[in-house]
């Protein structure tokens, strides 16, 4: 019964968009990443934040999420739930959103070993669900091709 409350608090803090709000959200995710629902929602929210209204904010929100530990939180969540196709799908969504066209984020994700995780997810879960295949393929494409020269 506590998970829905936790989820609502995570979403409320993330929607704050301030450094403090995003930090509280990421702290909640790091604390609860071993719970599948927290990992799933956390990765989903990271992906949504990284893509949030880029016309208005540009890369500001994505930078804030990454600088406060969003990449590490995503890889921790994915590593804790390798057999969960849902967590892996949202993890790939978050990775793609964080690295797309961003040299430093791409290097950080590669250093954390996410390329191997994304490849594993695509091989083991990709054929099971079109959404998983789509998110993983997008993450692989973003990691493999970077017009800024990160590849």
Q: What's the rounded Cα separation, in Å, for the pair 40 and 93?
A: 11
Q: What's the rounded Cα separation, in Å, for the pair 91 and 36?
A: 12
Site of tokens 């608090």: 9
Q: Do residues 7 and 37 lie in contact, with contact meaning Cβ atoms separated by under 8 Å?
A: yes
**DSSP calls for 19-31:** HHHHHHHHHHHHH
Residue ranges of domains in the chain, CATH in brackets = 2-144 (1.25.10.10)
* Residues 94-120: tens digit of each pLDDT: 999 999 888 888 888 888 888 888 888
pTM of the model: 0.82
* Residues 48-91: tens digit of each pLDDT: 999 888 888 888 889 999 999 999 999 999 989 988 989 999 99
- 2, HSE (Cβ side, Cα atoms, 13 Å): 3
């Amino acid at each position: 019964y506590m998970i829905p409350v936790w989820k609502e608090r995570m979403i409320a803090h993330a929607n704050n968009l301030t450094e403090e709000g995003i930090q509280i959200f990421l702290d909640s995710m790091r604390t609860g990443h071993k719970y599948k629902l927290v990992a799933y929602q956390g990765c989903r929210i990271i992906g949504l934040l990284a893509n949030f209204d880029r016309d208005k904010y540009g890369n500001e929100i994505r930078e804030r999420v990454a600088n406060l530990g969003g990449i590490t939180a995503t890889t921790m969540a994915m590593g804790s739930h390798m057999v969960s196709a849902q967590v892996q799908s949202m993890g790939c969504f978050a990775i793609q959103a964080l690295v797309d066209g961003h040299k430093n984020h791409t290097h950080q994700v590669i250093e954390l070993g996410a390329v191997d995780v994304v490849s594993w997810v695509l091989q083991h879960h990709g054929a099971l669900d079109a959404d998983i295949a789509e998110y993983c393929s997008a993450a692989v494409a973003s990691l493999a091709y970077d017009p800024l020269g990160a590849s």
